[in-house]
Structure 1
Amino acid sequence: MKRFAQLFTALDQTTKTLAKTAALTAYFEDAPEADRLWTITLLSGRRPKRTVNATRLSEWAAEVAGLPMWLFKASYDVVGDLAETIHLVLPDAEAAPDRSLSDWIADIRALAAQPEPERKAWVLRSWTELDGAERFVFNKLITGGFRVGVSQKLMTRSLAKATGIEEAELAHRLMGKWTPETTSYAALITAPDPEADLSRPYPFCLAYGVEGDPTDLGPAEDWIAEWKWDGIRGQLILRGGQHHLWSRGEELMTDRFPEFARAADFLPDGTVLDGEILAWDAETRRPMGFSALQTRIGRKTVSKKVLADAPVILRAYDLLEEDGVDLRPLPFAERRARLVGRIADLPADAPVALSPVVDFADWDTLGPIRETAREAQAEGLMLKRKGSPYHVGRKKGDWWKWKLDPLTIDAVMVYAQAGHGRRANLYTDFTFAVWKEDELVPFTKAYSGLTDAEFRRITHWVRRNTLARFGPVRQVPPEHVFEIGFEGIQKSTRHKSGVALRFPRMLRWRDDKPVAEANTHADLLQMLEQYG
């Protein structure tokens, strides 16, 4: 645990990529294999589930620290992070022998089956055996909130340096539904069995946003344009007589979308498609909008009514594997041609359809086409270089997303809440409202878009002008207007306003605009009618 805590500290205390890479590489070279496997697990987002709820941990920590609960809660409100609050209030630990990271995690996972008295006794004993960064890491693990500022790409790069295995190959080995319980470090990294997990997807190729004018990308004839659909990115895999559906976030979604079981009736084994999952209106042959798709997201079981109200389809735009052969090194134009040959003539009732290209003569004609994206239920355009391979992650130069400018509305801030991590002492999460006659009606929350200087400025104002407190939330006077940007708007029965926004964020602080001139609820309903 000491070795892992030292790694965590080294990663947490620097923003320099080279320093993080060096720390991770050294760790992967020297740590025991079981600890390496769990480190890979944690840094790839596969965190253990919380085994003790936050209320109990707070009560136990306050008891050990000799603090009344009101004071512990007040400390938590200031710090903004439970694991860090516990770490700060506990007394110094006693000396204890070092145990491995994998041993600690095994004990943490076993807690779920223990009655509460045994769980409490074990947690309190553990707090006495761990100090400094080790205790902080332990708290993060037991609360299920372990995070550190390292991307999976950086972790994979460091692992490649430590093992001598190509980074792209490692990225593929780390995909899929493996866990430390189902594999070992050797089986996953150094000597993988290609038949061990036929469901394994490929690392997704990602795009950068176009900055400015696409004419800077070079001759238009070198590019293929497609609609940027407003759905869920997914890979549909047919191998070994089975089908599997993966999201871009490496979530296995096969059971949530049973429509794709029929893909094997239309496509041969050894096929992997990259595309967009869309709620689909079979009569109009058009997407139904993201609000319809949301009724399918997060459901472990799907009722007949939901299946009927929001059927889905995969609009495929890339062929990654054909007859069991990895096609990713081929130029995109060739992969696209093979995709057309494979699925262009599928019947209308197939769960897969070709995502069409957008024909254009030059960059000047493509701009006006992009402006019609919302009519096609799209967010804008994708631009892909004809000669590009299917990269792992983002690689600047070959794939670009040229999204529409966001929808905007001016709203009044009415509530504020502190952030987390390095922003735990700043108010960064805000609730916004619009006018409905003489009343301000809350309609959305946003927590990104301002500079650190602006967050510090608004934090100072919130602290001096709080009207009421509701736990960590503060009600403030309606005195500040912000321009809120968002990608879409839809009806919502869960919100008093009757609407919900897609990807809301603060575009700017409207110091120049009086509160009386903020937008109205009627403006929201008009946008809902136009874009919902």
Structure 2
Amino acid sequence: MIRFAELYHALDSTTKTNEKIAAMSSYFAAAPPLDAAWATYFLCGNKLSRLVPNKLLRIWAAEEAAIPDWLFDESYHAVGDLAETLSLVVPPGEMVADESLSTWVEERLQPLRRLDEKTQRERVTEIWRETPSPLRFVVMKLITGAFRVGVSKRLVTRAIAQQSGVSADVVSHRLMGNWKPSKHFFESLVDPDVQDTLASQPYPFCLAHPINVDDGPREIGDASAFVAEWKWDGIRGQVIRRADQTFIWSRGEELMENRWPEIEAAAEHLPDGTVLDGEILAALADGTVLPFAQLQRRIGRKTVGKKLLTEVPVVFHAFDLLEHNGEDIRDQPFDDRRGQLEQLLGDCEHPHLKITELVAGETWDEWAGVRELSRDVNAEGLMLKRKDAPYDVGRVRGTWWKWKVKPYTIDAVLIYAQKGHGKRASLFTDYTFALWDGDQLVPFAKAYSGLDDKEIRQVDRFVRQNTKDTFGPVRSVTPTLVMELAFEGLQRSKRHKSGVATRFPRILRWRHDKQPEDANQLGELLEMLDD
């Protein structure tokens, strides 16, 4: 466990990619397979579900340190991270034995969830008394479910590949989907025999660059060099048909097994050696695409009942063909791939597998007019793709462009603030905004981004000087500041006091020119929803 804690602090203390990879590679070279599996699990962003309520940890820590609760809470608010506060406030312990990472996780940490409160406290106190501060910090990160360190899954993949000699592509594929840390898993992860990955292996996704909604697309070239498609608001994925098997991968590198039975059934009609890129959409039999809120009803469900299958049917809208008859055709121009896709899906008619239609138009002005109708068809705007471009890996400038519609905007009043996390742990950066409903302010959205560092410090100072009340970490402030918020979509919600949930809310600008009474009414937001 000491080696894992040292790895954490080594990764946390550098911003250099090569140093991070070297540190992880060194750890994997020395760690037993089960420890390496758990380390991979945590470094890739997975966490243990919270094992002990944070409230109890705070109470026990204050008593262990012999300080009043209010002093612990003030320390926590100053530090901004519970695990770090626990490692600093509770007196350091003495290391009894250096047990392995897997022993810690499987025999000391995971069992905590099943214990009664009295026994939980005994075990946690025992951990505190047996760990010096640097080790305790990492252990408490695991217990609180807040473990994260500055490495991406891609860097972890590169480190394992460097240490094992297995291709990074193969390691990346094996890390996709749902897997559990085990000795067998890690040994399979670094197995030089790559035959297991061939049938289900997806291709890296081609990603689009955004077009400035105010400037438009003229700077990217002549319209005649492009085709346009609707930019759908669904789940990006690849449908793979190989060896008489179907695999559906998300852009987030998740193997979505048994989630979309209609699409899996449709894919059985595809010939072996086919890989499609496209979007999973909630859509009716007549082709009407439903709002993303409907698709959300099916996201995350392990199994889908008959009622939901009927109410929210899904369709895979294919917009590219990456593999045809077992041949990788990504290097071919888009026009050629599109022609083969049209022929392929023309021979394979199925209601849950469709080709995304091209949007008619020959000039930027024509497409600009069509783009204004995006919300009418539950699209986010247009995708623009060069006719002569290959299917690139990642976000390569010039291949694909996304030309989204302008977001919804509204002026709202800041009413609550909370401190952020990480580098912003000492500043109030998480805000709740409200709109007027008669003479009452009704909260409707939270926003965390959009202000620059100078503005954040100004708002932080305002919050400290204008706090009306405190609810744990949240401060209620005098309604004074008005901000213009932007968001991508709206949907009705019984869980929100306003009756509306906003999608991707963020701050566009601080409206210094407006007083709180100038902010918008809740009714105006509801009108946007009705429109």
The answer to whether the 8 Å contact 1:176/1:201 transfers is no
SS where residue 513 of structure 1 aligns?
Answer: coil
C-alpha separation between the residues in 2 aligned to 1:378 and 1:135?
49
Match of 1:413 in 2: 414
User: What SS is found at the alignment partner of 2:382?
Assistant: strand
The answer for the alignment partner of 1:50 in structure 2 is 50
Q: Which residue of 1 aligns with 2:281?
A: 278
The answer to whether structure 1 residue 315 and structure 2 residue 317 are counterparts is yes
SS in structure 2 at match of 1:39: helix
- Once the 2 structures are TM-superposed, how far is the Cα of residue 505 of structure 1 from its aligned partner? 0.7
Q: Distance in 1 between matches of 2:331 and 2:112?
A: 45
Cα-to-partner distance string for 1:244-288 (whole Å, 9 max, x where unaligned): 4333333444444332242245323444332211111223x2211
For the residue of structure 1 that corresponds to 2:249, the secondary structure is strand
Answer with 497-506 or 145-154: which moved more. Answer: 145-154
What are the superposed Cα offsets for residues 479-518 of structure 1, whole Å, 9 maximum, x if unpaired? 0100100001122222222211111111111111111211
317-326 vs 230-239, greater mean Cα deviation? 317-326
In the other structure, the counterpart of 1:354 is 355
Q: Once the 2 structures are TM-superposed, how far is the Cα of residue 7 of structure 1 from its aligned partner?
A: 2.8
Partner of residue 141, structure 1: 142
Q: Deviations over 1:4-58 (max 9, x none)?
A: 3233223323444454445445545555554443333223223333333333433
- 2:308 corresponding residue in structure 1: 306
Deviation at 1:455, TM superposition (A): 1.6
Q: Give, in whole Å, the separation in 2 of the partners of 1:241 and 1:208.
A: 35
Q: In the alignment, which residue of structure 1 is the partner of 2:444? A: 443
TM-score (structure 2 length as normaliser): 0.89
TM-score (norm 1): 0.89
Residue 496 (structure 1) aligned with residue 497 (structure 2): yes
Structure 1's unaligned 5+ residue stretches are: none
8 Å Cα contact 2:170-2:194 kept in structure 1:
no
- Following the alignment from structure 1 to structure 2, what is the Cα–Cα distance between the partners of residues 467 and 431? 15
Larger mean CA deviation between 153-162 and 503-512 belongs to 153-162
Q: State the distance in 1 between where 2:99 and 2:478 align.
A: 52
2:271 paired residue number: 268
Deviation string for 1:280-337 (max 9, x for gaps)?
A: 1223x22111122222234444343333222211111223444555555555444333
When the two structures are aligned, how many residues end up with a matched partner?
528
* Whole-angstrom distance in 1 between the partners of 2:156 and 2:97: 29
Task: Out of 387-396 and 416-425, give the one that drifted further.
Answer: 387-396
Aligned pair partner of 2:252 in 249, 254, 266: 249
Q: Which position in structure 1 is the counterpart of 2:530?
A: 529
Q: Distance in 1 between matches of 2:470 and 2:172?
A: 46
Shift of the alpha carbon at 1:160?
4.2
Which is further off, 19-28 or 307-316? 19-28
Q: Is the 8 A contact 1:175 1:250 kept in 2?
A: yes
Q: Distance in 2 between matches of 1:339 and 1:193?
A: 29
Calculate percent identity across the aligned residue pairs. Answer: 50
What is the alpha-carbon distance in structure 2 between the residues aligned to residue 247 and residue 152 of structure 1? 15
1:225 correspondence with 2:217: no
- Deviation, 1:412, is 0.5
Could you tell me which residue of structure 2 aligns to residue 431 of structure 1?
432
Across the aligned residues of Structure 1 and Structure 2, the Cα RMSD in angstroms comes to 3.0
Tell me if structure 2 keeps the 8 A contact 1:168–1:392. no
Distance 1:152 1:110, change over 3 A: closer
Q: Does the alignment pair 1:292 with 2:271? A: no
Deviates more, 1:37-46 or 1:495-504: 37-46
Q: Counterpart in 1 of 2:9?
A: 9
Equivalent position amino acid for 2:270 in 1: L
Shift of 1:83: 1.8
Q: Quick one: structure 1 residues 222 and 112, their matched pair in 2 at CA, closer, same or farther if it must change by over 3 Å?
A: farther
Report the AA paired with residue 294 of structure 1: Q
1:258 corresponding residue in structure 2: 261
Amino acid at match of 2:285: A
* Residues 484, 504 of structure 1: 8 Å contact kept: yes
Distance 2:250 2:172 in 1: 16
Gaps of 5+ in 2: none
Structure 2 contact 210–401 (Cα < 8 Å) conserved: yes
Deviation of the 1:363 alpha carbon:
4.2
Give the aligned partner of residue 178 of structure 1: 179
Residue 476 (structure 2) pairs with residue 475 (structure 1): yes
Distance 1:108 1:200 in 2: 37
Q: Structure 1 22/208 Cα, relative in aligned 2: closer, same or farther at 3 Å?
A: farther
CA spacing shift, 1:479–1:94, aligned 2, 3 Å: same
Alignment-mate amino acid for residue 309 of structure 2: L
Distance in 2, Cα, partners of 1:366 & 1:28: 52
Supply the AA of the counterpart residue of 1:262: A
Deviation at 1:345, TM superposition (A): 4.8
Contact (CA 8 Å) 1:48, 1:109: kept in 2 or not?
Answer: no
Aligned partners of 2:382 and 2:402 also within 8 Å:
yes
> Quick check: 312-321 or 476-485, which moved more?
312-321
AA paired with 1:100?
Answer: S
CA distance in 1: counterparts of 2:274 and 2:49, whole angstroms: 34
Residue in 1 aligned with 2:84? 84
Amino acid corresponding to residue 339 of structure 2 in structure 1: A
Q: Distance in 2 between matches of 1:236 and 1:334?
A: 19
- Aligned pair 1:214/2:217, yes or no? yes
Quote the Cα distance in structure 2 between the aligned partners of 1:218 and 1:274: 25
2:432 is paired with a residue whose SS is: strand
Q: In the alignment, is residue 402 of structure 1 matched against residue 414 of structure 2?
A: no
Kindly indicate whether the alpha-carbon contact (under 8 Å) linking 1:277 and 1:313 is maintained by their aligned counterparts in 2. Answer: yes
Per the alignment, residue 343 of structure 1 pairs with 345
Amino acid in structure 2 at the alignment position of 1:410: D
Compared with structure 1, are the counterparts of its residues 118 and 239 closer, same or farther at alpha carbon in structure 2 (3 Å cutoff)?
A: farther
Which sits farther off after the overlay, 470-479 or 216-225?
Answer: 216-225
